[in-house]
Structure 1
């Protein structure tokens, strides 16, 4: 299968025939975006979406949809730069700002990445408490982490992509079902798609929703997957585009399913959930056991893939920093996956969440993401770098909008010290 993909990726050309035949052609190649999607479809996004719905009802529905578009857009820009240059984003940034500055930037990115993984371990432990009870939760948690370690460490890159694709699809289906279960008001849904004047509190939530789904660092992570898949050539741009369309759609369904639990169930009851775990606990008396189970099952799957996916992508970044191997599928690089998984295990067993440190490092991550998306938007919009593949006006506009949200997030962080 891999050889067939490598032979055919040199020319993207939809076959003649009906819609089904075209879809089968596209589906035979998509997958690398699932790695990024599996990390984006995590508790951070879930918490932002549940806050937006439980605090403001349907009013921020448009922001949730926009976040899905931005999620695909920022990754596409990173992948496009890789396809045109044959280099991953780490290599491109290093060429622009120098080795020392690039190394500092990506060390900060990596530290933050691992702190997020640590917090994911804590969330997984809390979810196991809810699902299995406190007495069995510790054993269930350790078994879960060991399963993640086995699946991601023992698998090849192609198998990891397949696993991530399956899990993303399952989560999208779960939260698609959840949309029907919470039975949102159609009239309010339509109204929520129209942006209105919003308060500072709403602006902060909007920045959190879109900033969490479309940070500049997403371009880096997706570029690694594109490089691993040998899509680092202009002829792969068609596959990259459809890869992102499919998984950005899944991400949007995931986000909507969570948002609507807040807007249709928690908001009318006056419950403001500040995290996805809080929402899971608050839903049962309102949505019933089945509704709560659907929500928790989807969230559990999100944390599962986030820990494995983030640990895998973290190993690629470590490889870039320390030049361990030219091939990210090398067993030496795969061993680095265990670093993230062990960190998540400690996060759950310690009961801590490292949130105070994490908030500060996430602020630095916003600065790093701003640097990355600025450089990549410039390169892909520049004729000298991109040639005939220079961004269309709407791609550049999307990059500038993403840049704006990253800049806003960066400013809110810096302003705390002024």
Structure 2
């Protein structure tokens, strides 16, 4: 039974790997430290929304055997509208992932440094973090091999390692199960929690995962009969990702200190209360979260560029490799020398804030087109859920843009 499940697990796990990056880990940590179990419901809501949208993306990929960006390019007939949306997609995902990649690598570094300490090479006033180069090399090798099955197995292993690490850490803190259930099913809005709630949903319902998922499923499955495997994979993998996020919130809720700024601080904070092994489990989870996102972000950007710009060839094509190499290189460069390209990150945040509602809306439109999906178009229930999520996406996008410009 377990062996059969593992045979059919894959693309969904990569999506889970992508949304549980260092940013999500840090946000979940702060949610737990500042609000205890009270925001678990927001994570549950975001997981449901993610499952609904990702199932649509997976269905589109299998039935059409095309990526989402390819379908958008073919279906949008108005040249001005097509050009505007293509620029928005490329800006949010290719430029956005390049600017966030340094954060992904830095998250992996935090995990390693919690266990091994810092490894920096100094040239006078200039220093390079050797850990970022190590993580960059690992990501480069996994991506350059260019074999989907190999990449999938490597990422599934890392995700299971991450899941095991964070869940064990949560169990070690011996949380109150009734309080956890209350936090999950009774929505509460503690003072100053609105931005954290928006953040929890915004880091889970990620635009680039819709493109990544539609492209990955067609690498794995080719027949309509495979839809059942894709649905199980999506449902189980994203639930697993949600469990990881909740485990981080639960772990952080056991710390009373207000000096926790990220998961590395949480690892150090857990050590005196629950022993060093809790610190090591959490640090290992943070490393796995960083490296999986450091691999999936360039991969997603390359798939998007391929679909939008009409590149030919697969994972091993020169144009595909060039995109992810540039993004990975920029991430390693910025993280190793400690540069934070603030203006680029702000631009990417605005583009992502605009992209999520636009892509959610376009995805709903595409999922109702019989010329693409035939009998596999959305049901009425799926459309109702989709429009509710679209409303949430518009709200999140507006709030995210306002936050960037300090209006919130």
* Higher mean C-alpha deviation, range 98-107 or range 110-119: 98-107
1:70 matched to 2:49: yes
Alignment length (residue pairs): 393
Write out per-residue CA displacement over residues 87-140 of structure 1, whole angstroms, 9 at most, x where no aligned residue. 321022222264412321222121011111022233334444333222468334
TM-score (norm 2): 0.87
CA contact (8 A) 1:142 1:345 kept: yes
SS in structure 2 of the partner of residue 201 of structure 1: coil
Partner of 1:90: 69
Gaps of 5+ in 1: 1-19
Matches within 5 A, 1:159-308: 159-199=150-190, 201-231=192-222, 233-263=223-253, 265-266=254-255, 269-271=256-258, 273-308=260-295
Compute the displacement of 1:209 (Å).
0.9
Write out per-residue CA displacement over residues 214-252 of structure 1, whole angstroms, 9 at most, x where no aligned residue. 133321111111232244x53332121011012112202
Partner of 1:102: 85
CA contact (8 A) 2:21 2:290 kept: yes
State the alpha-carbon separation in 1 of the partners of residues 296 and 107 from structure 2: 16
State the alpha-carbon separation in 1 of the partners of residues 368 and 395 from structure 2: 22
State the alpha-carbon separation in 2 of the partners of residues 372 and 87 from structure 1: 16
Matches within 5 A, 1:15-414: 20=1, 24-94=3-73, 95-96=75-76, 98=79, 99-109=82-92, 110-135=94-119, 138-199=129-190, 201-231=192-222, 233-263=223-253, 265-266=254-255, 269-271=256-258, 273-330=260-317, 332-355=319-342, 357-381=344-368, 386-414=373-401
Q: Flag the 1:415–1:286 CA change in 2: closer, same or farther, 3 A.
A: same
State the alpha-carbon separation in 1 of the partners of residues 310 and 111 from structure 2: 37
CA contact (8 A) 1:215 1:366 kept: no
* Higher mean C-alpha deviation, range 346-355 or range 180-189: 346-355
TM-score (norm 1): 0.85
CA contact (8 A) 1:210 1:405 kept: no
Write out per-residue CA displacement over residues 139-175 of structure 1, whole angstroms, 9 at most, x where no aligned residue. 3442332122112212412211111111111211112
* Higher mean C-alpha deviation, range 404-413 or range 348-357: 348-357
State the alpha-carbon separation in 1 of the partners of residues 224 and 65 from structure 2: 9
CA contact (8 A) 1:50 1:279 kept: yes
Matches within 5 A, 1:3-22: 20=1
Compute the displacement of 1:374 (Å).
0.8
Q: Flag the 1:354–1:105 CA change in 2: closer, same or farther, 3 A.
A: same
State the alpha-carbon separation in 2 of the partners of residues 142 and 312 from structure 1: 18
Q: Flag the 1:25–1:297 CA change in 2: closer, same or farther, 3 A.
A: closer
State the alpha-carbon separation in 1 of the partners of residues 382 and 69 from structure 2: 22
Q: Flag the 1:185–1:409 CA change in 2: closer, same or farther, 3 A.
A: same
